[in-house]
């Protein structure tokens, strides 16, 4: 009896929002992994006028990284299986989950409105949850979602969207952005540690590799 090796299990990208005021995190698993992802890494260095010749070689902090990717969301398969959620609401819940990454919770908005009405002089703006972008076991980073651009491409008879593309723009939050007490600080430090280990693997051991 012959046997065939099993195919490797496909990991899916995800965004996880962790709010300390709500025990259950919001987990958004990508229905389809995007084919491409654009990452822009910009060094944070000194180098203004009058800072001396050596100053351009100094880092002010961790490099700033922005991430852009496009997600496809499609309810076709679920509709063929008569999935109750897809039949009643299409992909509106999935789109709403992405959009809510940019909103404060209504409970906090109402609470702050009540404080203002009661005469409170200063009201602290709501704190955003810790949002993690997960792309495999070696890339888990805290991010701030800058924008979500959604193109709805098809609708059901109730005008629920059933197919859409969502373009996400994110900025990675580093130890230069977060206080030491914030959990994202340690998450990014661990991410940079993994990146340093990967760089050691990908770097040549000596100049002889360059033919010198």
Structural domains in the chain (count): 1
Q: What share of the chain in percent tops pLDDT 90?
A: 67
User: Which residues constitute the domain of residue 144?
Assistant: 14-43+55-199
161-172/64-74 β-pairing: antiparallel
For range 113-135, the mean pLDDT: 85
Strand ranges for 31-157 from DSSP E? 37-42, 64-74, 130-134, 140-155
Tokens of 58: 């100094």
Per-residue pLDDT for 203 more than 60? Answer: yes
Q: Is residue 75 part of a domain?
A: yes
pLDDT tens-place string over residues 150-189: 999 999 999 999 999 999 999 999 999 999 999 999 999 9
Q: Is residue 117 part of a domain?
A: yes
> Which pLDDT score is estimated for 102?
93
In a domain, residue 124? The reply is yes
Asked whether residue 4 is assigned to any structural domain, the reply reads no
Over residues 58-68, the pLDDT tens digits come to 888 899 999 99
**Strands in 44-139 per DSSP E:** 64-74, 130-134
Q: What confidence score (pLDDT) does residue 148 get?
A: 97
Strand residue runs (E) in 23-181: 26-29, 37-42, 64-74, 130-134, 140-155, 161-172
How far apart CA 130 and CA 145 sit, in angstroms, is: 11
Task: Flag whether 6 is in a domain.
Answer: no
Residue 160 in any domain: the answer is yes
Distance CA(210)–CA(207), nearest Å, equals 5
- How crowded is residue 136: how many other Cβ atoms within 10 Å of its Cβ? 10
Alpha carbons 130 and 186: distance in angstroms, whole number: 12
Specify if 2 maps to a domain: no
pTM value is 0.85
> Is 145 a domain residue?
yes
Res 153: pLDDT: 97
């Amino acid at each position: 009896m012959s046997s065939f090796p099993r195919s490797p299990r496909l990991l899916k990208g995800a965004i996880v929002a962790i709010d300390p005021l709500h025990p259950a995190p919001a987990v958004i698993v990508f229905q389809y992994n995007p084919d491409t992802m654009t990452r822009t890494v910009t060094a944070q260095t000194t180098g203004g006028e009058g800072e001396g010749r050596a100053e351009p070689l100094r880092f002010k902090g961790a490099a700033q990284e922005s991430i852009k990717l496009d997600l496809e969301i499609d309810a076709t398969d679920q509709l063929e299986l008569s999935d109750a959620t897809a039949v009643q609401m299409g992909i509106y819940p999935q789109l709403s989950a992405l959009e809510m990454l940019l909103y404060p919770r209504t409970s906090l908005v109402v609470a702050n409105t009540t404080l203002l009405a009661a005469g409170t002089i200063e009201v602290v703006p709501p704190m955003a949850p810790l949002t993690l972008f997960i792309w495999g076991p070696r890339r888990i980073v805290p991010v701030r979602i800058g924008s979500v651009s959604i193109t709805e491409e098809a609708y059901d008879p109730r005008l629920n969207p059933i197919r859409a593309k969502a373009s996400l723009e994110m900025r990675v939050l580093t130890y230069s952005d977060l206080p030491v007490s914030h959990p994202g600080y340690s998450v990014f430090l661990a991410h940079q540690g993994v990146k340093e280990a990967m760089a050691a693997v990908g770097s040549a051991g000596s100049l002889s590799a360059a033919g010198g």
